[in-house]
Amino acid sequence: MPADAFHILLPLPAQGAAETEATIVKWQVAPGDTFRRGQVLAQVDSAKSVFDFEAPCDGVVVRILHGAAEIVSYEVPVVEIETSDPAMRDWIPPAPIAADHGGIGTLEDAAPTPVPLAGASVCSIIGLGACLPARIVSNAELIQGFPDLSADYIQQVTGVMQRHWVAADEKPSDLAYGASMEAMLDAGVNPEDIDALILATWTPDMATPSTACILQQRLGLRPVPAFDLNAACSGWLYALSMARAMIAAGMARNVLAVGVDVQSQIVDPSDYTTCFLFGDGAGAAVISAGNTGHELRHTLIGADSSGLLLARREQPGYSVPNGQEGFDPWVRMDGQALFRFAAGAFARLIRDAAAASGWNLDDVRWVVPHQANARILRAAAKRCGVPFDRVFVNVDRVGNTSSASIPIALAEMQDRIQPGDKLILCSVGAGITTGVVTIEW
């Protein structure tokens, strides 16, 4: 028995205020078996339904106190376990939820297995993943409608040589699924280990349900919190900030933070200020309590609505619906004003982030900015005094992928980052939203 291990008695989870007992149908574990949090320990039959009795922590089965076919009160312990999870020392069984919805299921049916947690002051990225559509679109392909422009000129102005665009049947959730699976594999975690899903996008599959809930179903996650947020190109850094806050509050141990945008179908093919710039893609990270990975040192998010309409789109979603008139369906940008705003904001974010983390800019090995366009990135680096060879750039190959750009960049560059390297992630997006995160690798 490990020195920090202890024993605890577990009752069945109550299924409703009106219920007092249930029947154990079948045990899925035996004494001596190890199990993980979220694993099914037994199948149980209550008055309303058959449900799974899931483990609230990792541990080992010591004794089974009531066998199959026994009717047991919800207040009576049914199994003794050994665990090293400190949060279980003060664990209180969840109270039943009294809510019935007339034959379409109850709130208690959808309630997640409670995750008894102590807040963590430190959290880390433990896994990264990215997913890009197979189709690669070159500048030469796009300039066919612009006889006065050349592919080289587009690259010179935007820094973009090519971008990935989705096929007709691909949706944002498809890309998010690919990135999430890769991130969980990289982290060495399973879907049942995820305690919350935060998805940053401004191009969701549909208005509702959220793309996060669509992804939750596809990944087979437990009924944990899952929600979208829209902070445009700063979205994924907002998601990191929310993940860090949830872990610090004791609401989660492992949070899946996803950024995805599909913009190829909402750029006006006749607007040269936008149609060459945007790509499609998704990136994801697993954020975990503790310092077992790449530690998040400082996060700061904000918004300055003085630049409210510098980048905008009236219609939500990732595609343009047919048969609707009276609105502009395309994404629009005021390029020069946005350039000036973004270059200055990037420079301030980089300086402020280094100071907040107690770093000199010379200590920073990598600045990983949102891949807005190459000219903005060069201008920002020059303004804050960071050599451009320490700024990671992949906008030339993937374009501006909005919420997905920073996690895609991290997934691509992680083999080049050395332990102990100091990173600043920063973004400016429509709104104008801003975000910055410092990481010690």
* Whether pLDDT at 370 is above 50: yes
* Whether pLDDT at 273 is above 70: yes
CA distances from 217 to 130, 170, 177, 275, 340 (A): 19, 17, 10, 33, 42
Would you please indicate which residues are annotated as catalytic (active-site) residues? 233, 370, 400
Question: Angle of helix 405-413 relative to helix 172-187, nearest 10 degrees?
Answer: 40
Segment 110-125 mean pLDDT: 60
| Contact yes or no for 171/288 (Cβ under 8 A) | no
Segment 352-375 mean pLDDT: 91
Band of residue 419 on the pLDDT scale cut at 50, 70, 90: very high
| Contact yes or no for 183/213 (Cβ under 8 A) | no
CA distances from 149 to 37, 143, 298, 385, 412 (A): 58, 6, 43, 33, 31
Q: How far apart are CA 441 and CA 423, in angstroms?
A: 8
Q: How far apart are CA 173 and CA 425, in angstroms?
A: 24
pLDDT tens-digit readout, 169-207: 999 999 999 999 999 999 999 999 999 999 999 899 998
Segment 367-375 mean pLDDT: 89
Q: How far apart are CA 352 and CA 364, in angstroms?
A: 13
* Whether pLDDT at 112 is above 60: no
DSSP letter at 284 equals E
Contacts (Cβ under 8 Å, ≥6 apart) of 76: 11, 66
Q: How far apart are CA 154 and CA 284, in angstroms?
A: 29
* Whether pLDDT at 315 is above 70: no
Q: How far apart are CA 413 and CA 426, in angstroms?
A: 16
DSSP letter at 391 equals B
Band of residue 338 on the pLDDT scale cut at 50, 70, 90: low
| Contact yes or no for 15/96 (Cβ under 8 A) | yes
Which range of 61-70, 255-264, 265-274, 372-381 scores highest in mean pLDDT? It is 255-264
* Whether pLDDT at 107 is above 50: no
Segment 403-412 mean pLDDT: 97
Cross-strand partners of 198: 227, 257
User: What pLDDT is attached to residue 293?
Assistant: 86
* Whether pLDDT at 105 is above 60: no
Q: How far apart are CA 53 and CA 42, in angstroms?
A: 5
User: How are beta strands 196-200 and 254-261 bridged, if at all?
Assistant: parallel
For the ranges 45-49, 293-297, 324-328, the lowest mean pLDDT is seen at: 324-328
pLDDT tens-digit readout, 210-231: 999 999 999 999 999 999 999 8
User: pTM of the prediction?
Assistant: 0.71
For every residue of 22-56, DSSP letters joined together read EEEEEES--TT-EE-TT-EEEEEE-SS-EEEEE-S
Band of residue 314 on the pLDDT scale cut at 50, 70, 90: low
Segment 276-294 mean pLDDT: 92
* Whether pLDDT at 376 is above 70: yes
Q: Give the gyration radius of the chain's Cα atoms.
A: 25
Compute the mean pLDDT over every residue in the chain, rounded to the nearest whole number.
85
Backbone angles phi, psi at 219, to 5 degrees: -80, -15
**Structural domains of the chain in order of their starting residue, each with its CATH number:** 6-110 (2.40.50.100), 123-322+330-440 (3.40.47.10)
Segment 55-71 mean pLDDT: 91
* Whether pLDDT at 62 is above 90: yes
Which two three-digit tokens encode residue 183? 């991130």
